[in-house]
Structure 1
């Protein structure tokens, strides 16, 4: 039995939605994208949503809309997918990392506060593995120091913590809809905000800097822009997925609970902690080996049984282009580095069966016994 690391949950509803677009003949910048944006804004509790071609594009455009550029500093987490740091470099700003919390693996507010300088322009907390960062702390910090908040919620749609929901707190928040995410558009992302002027600018930027909200005359361009449009097929797919969001999240929680029930008594691993005062939106299922030197052997053992696994995530500050950018070094962020050397993502997807979960857990337990 081959068990992939991830797999999208595509039903007849999604297939029908995509066929509807193909039959309409309108494949770009049409009613499906508008409807998808309206639905996403409603789910996140924001006034506006702008769908784009990827979560990375959403980060890039949010930073531009926040007027962040050369000479500015943006504080973020070194434990994330590299795009959250790359986007800061795109706009010419300086990445300032602060270490993560042991409990949630999200950016540590106290450590972030300690690296604020007069050049700090924004905080970019990452809701890692579907767990919200401490947005109460970050909102207070931003208000105190007049900073922008850009939430990286690419892994966390539907998550909550206290009075906050994913995407509901920052000046801007971004989502990603790659096929391994909770919901997918194939390739795609979105920005949500309550700022109508910023939304107009982002709509223009995603469509080559076209005038107005990106809907002006085809050859009328008022700023440097990008080809960050999402297509109507992707929007229709995302819209159908959003209509099933509660069902999808419930099923992913079911799979995570099955894993946790089977694995929690294994002495050689640690599992992700519950989110304090909230609920995780399950993106991946990650275990942490207490003896990190065994991780590669465990991954190889699973591979021999046709079970995919992957390390999640290598520390961003270890990558050459990031290290050279900020002068970062090993040992600088000890919690991130300790966690990163121990994590292994197991197969995880919405439609995963009890039999598949049992098979993976049996192989993990056999290796660790």
Structure 2
């Protein structure tokens, strides 16, 4: 039971409809639990929605990114440039293939990659590797400044992979994210815009990337091959049929889901106005914003220690919250490669002040008011 005057507000909560449940039960009753019609239908719904020729459904966003770089031939003589302010998988997939990683800082307004620093990193590494790749992250659902990204990448022959795992449905100047590079990836963990439980998908217009990723997700079997015939070194990265069916069902209301999440985001912006807390900014070039999480920044002089005290206060009052993100370059595997504090100043500052507060499609206004009031109180208590 809730204590008097105290709520419990979860960080996220997937929207599961009766239709979602019915289609999953249908699959369970069918006995066809893998590689069935719903995998194909889910792929078709995503490809049609974002406007690509192909979509390949897989077991996670991480496996989607891995298959993309594998299909592109990324290896030990190549470099992947990636923001440190992201989920660790954005960088880890390069290490899976024995490749090299270089981190880039972020700019403070959108928390996306800083374009000036990106070009500096590219210039510094030009000629040192067989090929350079950019893992372009549309962080928290906010699109990158894609005109600027494409200009730099074309200038230096940098191949673009788009990590849009957090951004299904977002648009840059009318064009869906996930479609600016050679291939893009989306993910469907329960806190995403739509969910398949676990799952991800590759989108591309490339015949070769489609062919290779579709084969490699299924143990390297080529199209039309028998169960024990393998043309490639592959993986068990298949999505199961129940997950695909759930994703297909949720895609039927994707625009409604995005609209509702925008309503929740706008409420928070109003509730936290004049609090000193920095709320997310959406740039003018974003023609559609598809919110993944709602991440606020505590005002300076807040730091990691103060942020942790604020989070503890919120949790004690029944409000789930998380720090988003811890810099990837300071995680142990990358420290062992030589990265350390002081190398990416904006990332390190902002990551010490960010908090993801409860955010999901059906979050009620009353619960948002409760969250906002306690967040304001926490700032008054811990930040003088």
TM-score range, shorter chain: over 0.9
* Distance across 2 between alignment mates of 1:296 and 1:201: 44
| Alignment correspondent of 2:280 | 272
How many matched pairs?
Answer: 365
Q: Is the 8 A contact 2:145 2:285 kept in 1?
A: no
Q: Is the 8 A contact 1:309 1:344 kept in 2?
A: yes
Which one of the candidate residues 351, 356, 367 is aligned to 1:356? 367
Which one of the candidate residues 37, 58, 75 is aligned to 1:69? 75
| Alignment correspondent of 2:226 | 217
* Distance across 1 between alignment mates of 2:9 and 2:174: 37
| TM-score, normalisation: structure 1 | 0.96
Report the CA distance between 1:178 and its aligned residue.
0.5
Give the match's secondary structure for 1:150: strand
Report the CA distance between 1:222 and its aligned residue.
1.3
CA RMSD after TM alignment = 1.2
| Alignment correspondent of 2:58 | 52
* Distance across 1 between alignment mates of 2:311 and 2:97: 37
Report the CA distance between 1:163 and its aligned residue.
4.2
Give the match's secondary structure for 1:125: strand
| Alignment correspondent of 1:94 | 100
| Alignment correspondent of 1:14 | 20
Report the CA distance between 1:111 and its aligned residue.
1.4
* Distance across 2 between alignment mates of 1:323 and 1:162: 38
Report the CA distance between 1:98 and its aligned residue.
1.1
| Alignment correspondent of 1:150 | 161
Q: Is the 8 A contact 1:174 1:191 kept in 2?
A: yes
Give the match's secondary structure for 2:278: strand
| Alignment correspondent of 2:146 | 135
Report the CA distance between 1:306 and its aligned residue.
1.0
Per-residue CA deviation, residues 18-49 of structure 1 (Å, 9 max, x unaligned), is 11211222111111000100110011111100
Instruction: Pick which of 113-122 and 145-154 moved more.
Output: 113-122
Which one of the candidate residues 236, 242, 256 is aligned to 1:247? 256
* Distance across 2 between alignment mates of 1:334 and 1:366: 29
Per-residue CA deviation, residues 75-123 of structure 1 (Å, 9 max, x unaligned), is 1100001010111111111011111122211112221121222214211
Alignment of 1:179-218 (within 5 A): 179-212=190-223, 215-218=224-227
Structure 1 residue runs without a partner (length 5+): none
Which one of the candidate residues 92, 104, 113 is aligned to 1:107? 113
Structure 2 residue runs without a partner (length 5+): 1-6
Report the CA distance between 1:263 and its aligned residue.
0.4
Question: Does residue 261 of the first structure (1) align with residue 270 of the second (2)?
Answer: yes
Instruction: Pick which of 77-86 and 258-267 moved more.
Output: 258-267
| Alignment correspondent of 2:32 | 26
Per-residue CA deviation, residues 203-225 of structure 1 (Å, 9 max, x unaligned), is 1100111123xx51000011110
| TM-score, normalisation: structure 2 | 0.93
Report the CA distance between 1:329 and its aligned residue.
1.4
| Alignment correspondent of 1:367 | 378
